[in-house]
Amino acid sequence: MRVVLGVSGGIAAYKAPELVRRLQDAGADVRVILTPNAARFVSPLSLATVSNHGVIVEQWGDVDKGGVDHVELARWADVLLIAPATANILAKLATGIADDALSTYALAHRGDVIVAPAMNTFMLQHPTVAANLATLRARGVDVIEPDWGLLACGDEGAGRMPDPPLLVERVKRHFVPRDLEGKSVLVTAGPTREPIDPVRFISNRSSGKMGYAIAEAAKRRGANVTLVTGPTSLNEPAGVNVTRVTTAAQMHDAVMRALPSHQIVVGAAAVGDYAPSEVAATKIKSGELALSLKKNPDILASIGSAKPAPFIVAFAAETDAVESNAREKLQKKNADLIVANDVSDSSIGFDSDQNEVTVIARDGSSTKIDRAPKLVVANRILDLVVARLSARSHT
């Protein structure tokens, strides 16, 4: 694990040496960047001593050494953890300001970013701080919620930086084995849209977040990943081959074209079962509308009948009898695993950033994955895929 620890100028900076030690105990190699204000709370010398590396404070680097420190460090690092993250550094991260070593490095960093906000409760509740945190979350930054308690200013409320053991556990979530190297993974994501006329369509509430998380997680684990996605507002995962489609028929065709070169298929898309039998050439005027529907192609069934069939992970988004409906679908689709989730619960349903699922295998066994961010859930699903593939290769 290669971690850059960014320390900004809050009182919680005094925890930084212990945090470095605990990260090292977890197997991390840690490099530290201090803002000038952070250096008022904790000395660069103490952090250099515990980390066994020089500490970056000045933006301009070492003129005798040459090179650009923040770019070189970005090539090395896996994770950037900023703890404590003050309101000032959060604003810089959200707006792209680069006026010190830490904010400049953050722009160059290409790995995961984790921030642990720590400040006075009233500052934390300020609309600007809330907006900046929302911006960072939307970009995929992992925001660790502050603890509630007595603050350095004497107030009591939210704003305390969590203790180092919790921060280390959060960092460990971002490290996964490269156990899918040499594998090609095909992922479907998002909804499909079936046109009624030039302005109307039939669709569903899928955001695509779960499928995109699986594509990102598989890429991080070393796989060659193809993502076939319906219409979403999500940013494409870095390094993933993306094919955008609109209708179920288009998704079927794209998947079947890509299928021969992929050993694993994860069908996370919410594919429409039906489409209008006819599409009006012009906008249908308002009034009563009766639609005749036709069945869309069954993508998972087509994949399951392929020879040789890939390893198939299906999804079952259910609102009732979740597990029994998923087990029935597992058999019908000839899948190896099926991921059942209750979309009637808005906190883990469509468009949520979290999920809670049960993964059922063809042999009838099941694994519960507790509520967690979708990227974490994605990795736990892939853990099961890797385990099943390994068992298959040894039989």
Q: Is it the case that residue 65 has pLDDT exceeding 60?
A: no
Query: Hey, which residues are catalytic here?
Result: 153
How far apart (Å, rounded) are the C-alpha atoms in residues 177 and 133?
Answer: 29
> In angstroms, how far is CA 151 from the centroid of its own chain?
31
pLDDT value of position 63: 43
pTM for this predicted structure: 0.67
Contact 276, 202 (CB under 8 A): yes
Vertex 295: Cα angle to 294 and 298 (nearest 5) = 160
- Residue-wise pLDDT for 230-265, tens only, equals 999 998 887 899 999 999 999 999 999 999 999 999
pLDDT value of position 349: 74
Q: Is it the case that residue 327 has pLDDT exceeding 80?
A: yes
Residue 107's region, left for phi above 0, alpha for psi from -120 to 50, else beta, is alpha
Share of the chain above pLDDT 70, in %: 94
- Residue-wise pLDDT for 118-171, tens only, equals 988 878 889 999 999 999 988 888 899 887 766 566 666 666 888 999 999 889
Which one is the CATH code of 2-172: 3.40.50.2300, 3.40.50.1950, 3.40.50.300, 3.40.630.30?
3.40.50.1950
Pairing of strands 337-342, 311-318: parallel
- The mean pLDDT value for 201-226 works out to 93
Contact 182, 33 (CB under 8 A): no
Question: Would you say the CATH fold of 184-393 matches that of 2-172?
Answer: yes
Q: Is it the case that residue 383 has pLDDT exceeding 50?
A: yes
Which one is the CATH code of 184-393: 3.40.190.180, 3.40.50.10300, 3.40.50.300, 3.30.420.40?
3.40.50.10300
Cα distances (angstroms) measured from residue 82 to each of 166, 220, 275: 14, 21, 48
pLDDT value of position 395: 61
Domain ranges, ordered by start, for the chain: 2-172, 184-393
| 20 vs 373, residue with greater confidence | 20
* Identity of the amino acid at 359: V
Q: Look over the chain and give the mean of its residue pLDDT values, rounded to a whole number.
A: 90
Say which residues have a Cβ less than 8 Å from residue 7's Cβ, sequence separation at least 6: 13, 16, 32, 33, 34, 35, 38, 42, 47, 82, 83, 84, 102
Residue 96's region, left for phi above 0, alpha for psi from -120 to 50, else beta, is left
